[in-house]
């Protein structure tokens, strides 16, 4: 679509962007102007000539995704969202990096209109973009190019490619042949400490070619808008592999004093620096210079393009077959499933044959697979072990673009971040599994998922020292407490198959990320699953008023039930509570809390992990405040006190008042 902007307006717009890149950090006394100044022409070309976007609906499903992986240059993205009329105004730019502004220090999805993904920690955005490209491919195969036909553009810097996650993500993208992923590498040779030669001598071009990417070395064309446009459009024609465009830029250009100076990366210019640079650019030396006529022309140009693309797309959506439309609405809706999708959730009769919750989650996923059109499942080389194996889904690949079984290989870092990218792309529900102890590899992605409320389901199995012979390196102890500490992360550790099915439901319906913590070993079927809904529930009521409450999660609920049976011989009335989700429980009112934990009744918690945090609910806690040991799982649990006899004995001690509150 031809540009309606004149060459003079192009030049003015680039100067405006560079001016804002200096003015906003100066006004905030904080920020990064150097990269934004250097990449102003690239941003102008992307937003005015290449990318499909609709300023009136920045969440339009078929818009091109834009990821600023080097998110410290956020003022560049904010300037473009202002210029194109995507929801930001000059007042937002003047509030850059201030309290509750729509222009925080790094781009935040769901906070700033037009921001597709939350970026900042270097390399994460690049890995997010791989997930976005996967989501687009799967949805295009499901619904056709008439409804899904867009690209993912990601801007990266040297720091992104130094971070190890970039290696995993780039390798995966090359293997999958993600032809609609276009990365622009801002090769400016600068980091905070100084020139990249201090710590980097990689052959980035050779590295990405080895990954299977199409690599184009653009050279010194950072200010040549026509060459940039041709390169980006050519990259769109490469359909069998992702593209890397290597752009040699100069940080802080065209500053007469700080071009190529590493100090310009993170230190705001002084007023004199800004004055001298604006003199070189030939624009007025006034803060936040933005000629009304130019801004109006730019916004009209963006709106015209968006209206044409979006209008034609709306017609195609309206003409879609009703069956297609039902699945489309499910994929892009708040529930993710077609009406009645929960009807097929498994239910197992209590006291049936024991089943590991990692197996039970696989049963739940496969029972509902056909009714969740956006579901994409996979694992980091542990598909069968973690219950993320689809019984019907084809393997995701260039040959099977609609494949919803994604084999990530041994790439936990990339898996976590790609899942976040898929979730923020929208239209898909990513599910990824690995052993619980390896959640540590994924923590940055889980944290960013929580910040951005990305609906991703992290399946963590082999959830305790019950892992057994693999020993302490593979036996999670502190991981559960650490995930519970992350705000806005839903954490569920189900007690049995029925709680697992309901945990899967809760994960699908939750507007944000979920961590499912599941067992390796078989567990008795001992609940009806209802405790998940409110985070807690009574699974064994005492005869009469309870003398003591035993509360457990996961595999320890059945241990509590067995201990309660033993305590009957001591003429004690025991209530057993399953507490699969602390965060869901905390959202309930005080009345429900008192129903679960009656005032004045002592509480003993049992969980095969660190006791950290249990003091909020329990008067005494049985747990594992040490690392595990290599031996058969059942033996390790028994020797470390996770057994009915030990629980019963500690319960009696608590009732006798011989254990101080909070003792371990």
Measured CA to CA, the distance from residue 48 to residue 299 in angstroms comes to 10
Strand-strand pairing, 214-219 and 152-157: unpaired
In this structure, are 221 and 355 located in the same domain? no
Residues annotated catalytic, as ranges: 412
What is the percent of the chain where pLDDT is above 70?
A: 99
DSSP assignment string, 393-453: PPBPSSS-TT--EEE--S-HHHHHHHHHHHHHH-S-EEEEEEEGGGGGGGHHHHHHHHHHT
The reply to whether 331 falls in a domain is no
429 plus 508 within the same structural domain:
yes
Q: 266: buried, middle or exposed (CB in 10 Å: 19+, 13-18, 0-12)?
A: middle
- Residue 195: burial class (beta carbons within 10 Å; 0-12, 13-18, 19+): middle
Q: How, if at all, do strands 181-187 and 214-219 pair? A: unpaired
Same domain, 159 and 267: yes
Range of the domain at 620: 535-656
Predicted local confidence at residue 206, as pLDDT: 97
Same-domain pairing of 236 and 304: yes
Same domain, 266 and 226: yes
* pLDDT at residue 460 tops 50: yes
pLDDT at residue 659, as a whole number: 53
Query: Closest Cα to residue 573, out of 664, 647, 651?
Result: 651
The reply to whether 525 falls in a domain is: no
| Cα–Cα distance for residue pair 221/443, rounded to 1 Å | 38
Q: Which of 491, 517, 543 is the last residue of a domain?
A: 517
Q: pLDDT tens digits for 122-140?
A: 999 999 999 999 999 999 9
Nearest to 5 by CA among 233, 301, 227: 301
Report whether pLDDT(663) > 80: no
Whether residue 54 sits in one domain with residue 17: yes
Q: For residue 289, is it within any domain?
A: yes
Q: Name the least confident of 1-15, 87-101, 615-629.
A: 1-15
pLDDT by residue (tens digit) across 1-24? 667 899 999 999 999 999 999 999
- The rounded percent of the chain whose pLDDT value lies above 90 is 94
Please name the residues in contact with 663: beta carbons below 8 A apart, sequence gap of 6 or more. 620, 621
| Burial of 523 from C-beta contacts in 10 A (0-12 / 13-18 / 19+) | buried
354 plus 301 within the same structural domain: no
My answer on whether 186 and 249 are in the same domain is yes
Whole-number Å distance between alpha carbons of 579 and 538: 9
User: At residue 664, does pLDDT exceed 50?
Assistant: no
For residue 171, the Cα-to-chain-centroid distance in whole angstroms is 19
Q: How confident is the model at residue 662 (pLDDT cuts 50, 70, 90)?
A: very low
Which whole number is the average pLDDT over 400-412?
A: 97
Residue 33 has a pLDDT of: 95
- CATH number assigned to the domain comprising residue 174: 3.40.50.970
* Structural domain contains residue 185: yes
Region of poorest pLDDT, from 78-87, 191-200, 357-366, 383-392: 191-200
What's the pLDDT at 484?
A: 98
The domain total for the chain is 3
Mean pLDDT of 442-467: 97
| Same domain? 605 vs 554 | yes
Least confident of 60-69, 158-167, 190-199, 290-299: 190-199
> Which pair of tokens denotes residue 607?
């969980």
SS (H, E, C) 23-88: HHHHHHCCCCCHHHHHCHHHHHHHHHHHCCCCCCCCCCCCCCEEEECCHHHHHHHHHHHHHCCCCC
Contact 415, 432 (CB under 8 A): yes
Single residue among 487, 517, 547 that ends a domain in this structure: 517
CATH code of 596's domain: 3.40.50.920
In a domain, 323, yes or no: no
Same domain, 506 and 551: no
**196 shares a domain with 228:** yes
Query: Which stretches of 319-334 are DSSP H helices?
Result: 322-332
Residue 332 in domain: no
Residue 404 reports pLDDT greater than 80: yes
From CA 577, how far away is CA 404, in angstroms rounded? 37
**How high does pLDDT run on average in the chain?**
96
Predicted local distance difference test score (pLDDT) of residue 1: 67
166 domain residue, yes or no: yes
Q: Residue 542: how many CB atoms within 10 A of its CB? A: 19
Band (pLDDT 50/70/90 cuts) for residue 393 is confident
231-282 tens-digit pLDDT:
999 999 999 999 999 999 999 999 999 999 988 888 889 999 999 999 999 9
Q: Are residues 255 and 391 in the same domain?
A: no
Cα–Cα distance measured from residue 131 to residue 591, given in angstroms and rounded to the nearest whole number: 43
HEC letters along 104-118 = CCCCCCCCCCCCCCC
Which of 457, 486, 517 is at the close of a domain?
517
Q: What is the pLDDT of residue 233?
A: 98
The answer to whether residue 225 is domain-embedded is yes
């Amino acid at each position: 679509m031809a540009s309606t902007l004149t060459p003079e307006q192009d030049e003015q717009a680039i100067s405006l962007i560079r001016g804002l890149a200096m003015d906003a950090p100066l006004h905030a006394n904080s920020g990064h102007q150097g990269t934004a100044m250097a990449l102003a022409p690239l941003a102008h070309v992307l937003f005015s000539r290449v990318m499909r976007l609709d300023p009136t609906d920045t969440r339009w499903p078929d818009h091109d995704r834009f990821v600023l992986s080097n998110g410290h240059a956020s003022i560049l993205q904010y300037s473009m969202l202002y210029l194109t009329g995507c929801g930001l105004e000059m007042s937002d730019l003047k509030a850059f990096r201030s309290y509750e502004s729509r222009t925080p220090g790094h781009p935040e999805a769901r906070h700033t209109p037009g921001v597709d993904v939350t970026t900042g920690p270097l390399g994460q955005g690049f890995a997010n973009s791989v997930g976005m490209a996967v989501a687009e491919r799967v949805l295009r195969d499901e619904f056709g190019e008439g409804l899904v036909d867009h690209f993912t553009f990601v801007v990266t810097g040297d720091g992104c490619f130094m971070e190890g996650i970039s290696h995993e993500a780039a390798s995966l993208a090359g293997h999958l042949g993600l032809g609609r992923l276009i990365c622009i590498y801002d090769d400016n040779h600068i980091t905070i400490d100084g020139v990249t030669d201090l710590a980097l001598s990689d052959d980035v071009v050779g590295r990405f070619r080895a990954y299977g990417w199409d690599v184009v070395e653009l050279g010194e064309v950072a200010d040549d808008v026509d060459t940039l446009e041709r390169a980006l459009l050519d990259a769109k024609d490469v359909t069998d592999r992702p593209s890397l465009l290597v752009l040699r830029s100069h940080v802080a250009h065209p500053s007469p004093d700080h071009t190529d100076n590493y100090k310009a990366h993170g230190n705001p210019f002084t007023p004199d620096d800004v004055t001298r640079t604006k003199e070189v650019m030939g624009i007025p030396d006034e803060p936040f210079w933005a000629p009304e006529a130019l801004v109006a022309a730019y916004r009209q140009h963006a709106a015209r393009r968006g209206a044409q693309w979006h209008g034609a797309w709306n017609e195609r959506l309206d003409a879609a077959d009703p069956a297609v439309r039902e699945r489309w609405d499910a994929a892009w809706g708040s529930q993710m499933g077609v009406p009645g999708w929960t009807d097929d959730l498994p239910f197992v009769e209590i006291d049936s044959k024991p089943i590991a919750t990692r197996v039970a989650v696989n049963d739940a996923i496969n029972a509902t697979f056909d009714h969740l059109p956006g579901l994409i499942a996979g694992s980091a080389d542990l598909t069968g072990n973690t219950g993320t194996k689809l019984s019907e889904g084809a393997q995701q690949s260039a040959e099977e673009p609609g494949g919803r079984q994604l084999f990530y290989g041994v790439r936990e870092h990339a898996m976590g971040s790609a899942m976040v990218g898929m979730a923020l792309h929208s239209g898909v529900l990513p599910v990824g599994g690995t052993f619980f102890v390896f959640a540590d590899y994924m923590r940055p992605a889980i944290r960013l998922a929580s910040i951005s409320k990305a609906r991703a389901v992290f399946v963590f199995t082999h959830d305790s020292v019950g892992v057994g012979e693999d020993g302490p390196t593979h036996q999670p102890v502190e991981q559960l407490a650490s995930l519970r500490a992350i705000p806005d992360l839903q954490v569920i550790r189900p007690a049995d198959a029925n709680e697992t099915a309901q945990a899967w439901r809760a994960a699908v319906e939750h507007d944000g990320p979920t961590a499912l913590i599941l067992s390796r070993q078989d567990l008795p079927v001992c609940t009806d699953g209802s405790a998940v809904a409110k985070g807690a529930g009574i699974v064994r009521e005492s005869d009469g008023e309870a003398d003591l409450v035993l509360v457990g999660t996961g595999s320890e609920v059945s241990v509590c039930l067995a201990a309660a049976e033993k305590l009957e011989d001591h003429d004690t009335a025991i209530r057993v509570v399953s507490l699969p989700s602390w965060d869901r429980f905390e959202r309930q009112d005080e009345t429900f809390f008192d129903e679960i934990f009656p005032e004045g009744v002592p509480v003993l918690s049992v969980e095969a992990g660190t006791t950290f945090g249990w003091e909020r609910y329990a008067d005494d806690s049985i747990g594992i405040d040490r690392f595990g040991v290599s031996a058969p799982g059942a033996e390790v649990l028994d020797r470390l006190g996770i057994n009915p006899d030990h629980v019963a004995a500690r319960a009696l001690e608590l009732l006798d008042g011989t254990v101080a509150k909070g003792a371990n």
